[in-house]
Amino acid sequence: MNNKIKRVTIDDNVFRAKVVVYCNCSQDQFTELIKKKHEAPDFPDVDGAEGNFLSWETAGGTMYCLWIESFDKSVKKIGVLNHEMIHCAYSILKDGGIEVNDETEEVLAYYHSFLLTEAYNKLTK
């Protein structure tokens, strides 16, 4: 990777979730970082992936973490961020006791939009 590893944090006061996004690093570097900084357990690598979403329990609560191999303002890279953020939003809602279904899908849409916008704005700063 040519770019410097970037880490951004999104603090959500509604669901009390902390989301950390790492980009511009290999999957191996990401795995090493989350084990060192966030008490992450072992996770299998995702072959051929450009990103991944993981969550796990820590002493301080659930950790929500995204890895984006490389990030820029291209539609493709925004798409990877969007994809992983859908997984993240769904998991946070589910952990918060909100079942995503026809009656609650708007909650998912708004929450995903919030998380994606926060991540994008911080990543492109």
> What's the average model confidence in pLDDT over 84-88?
98
- Residue owning tokens 């299998």: 44
Q: Is residue 116 in a domain?
A: yes
pTM: 0.93
What stretches of 29-91 adopt beta strand conformation (E)?
51-58, 61-68
Nearest CA to 34 out of 55, 60, 49 is that of 55
Asked if pLDDT for residue 11 goes beyond 70, the answer is yes
Q: How many domains does the chain have?
A: 1
Q: Is residue 32 in a domain?
A: yes
d(CA 63, CA 15): 13
At residue 3, the pLDDT reads 72
3: left (phi over 0), alpha (psi -120 to 50) or beta: beta
pLDDT in tens, 42-80: 999 898 899 999 999 998 899 999 999 999 999 999 999
At residue 45, the pLDDT reads 86
At residue 70, the pLDDT reads 96
Q: Is residue 11 in a domain?
A: yes
Structural domain boundaries enclosing 49 = 6-123
The mean pLDDT value of the chain amounts to: 95
Q: What percent of the chain has pLDDT over 70?
A: 98
Angle at alpha carbon of residue 64, lines to 63 and 68, rounded to 5°? 135
At residue 2, the pLDDT reads 54
Q: Is residue 58 in a domain?
A: yes
At residue 51, the pLDDT reads 97
- Residue owning tokens 């959500």: 12
At residue 69, the pLDDT reads 97
